[in-house]
Amino acid sequence: ANFSEQVVESFPSDISTGIYYGWACVGNGDVHKMVLSIGWNPFYKNIKKSVEMHIIHTFKDDFYGEILSIVILGYIRSEKNFSSLEALISAIQDDIEEAKRQLDLPEHLKLKDNDFFHLPEGETVNH
């Protein structure tokens, strides 16, 4: 899932680029593990950041237009360039495995059930 420019601009300006892990919820659905990439976007000549999220779950339908609720819990690695597509794919797979390991830790697992993911209809929080 790619976040809109408006959402990206609302992220704290001092957040480091790189790969993060945490929890994500689509609409009022279940909460799933996720990895998140925050990086400079070459399409915008690297003057704008982009934020892309990969939810570690297979959805049966697209979720365009849904509210995405996320909690970022940790940092995996810095943003970097890759010499080949294979190297990029390998790094992404390693990031996903690291996110799974971290999110299985008791201190992270307990946040999966946080009330943040079950706000009343129409209520949002932007922290």
Residue from 5, 52, 66, 98 carrying the catalytic annotation: 52
Q: Judge whether 122 lies within some domain.
A: no
Please give the pLDDT value at position 67: 82
| Structural domain that includes position 60 | 5-117
Q: Judge whether 123 lies within some domain.
A: no
Angle at 123 between CA 20 and CA 112, to 5 degrees: 40
**How high does pLDDT run on average in the chain?**
86
pTM recorded for the entire structure: 0.84
Q: Judge whether 36 lies within some domain.
A: yes
Domain count, the chain: 1
Q: pLDDT tens digit string along 89-126?
A: 999 999 999 999 999 999 999 999 888 887 666 566 66
Known active-site residue 52: yes
Residues 76 and 69: their CA atoms lie apart, in Å, by 20
Q: For position 36, which CATH number holds?
A: 2.40.30.30
Spans of the chain, pLDDT less than 50: none
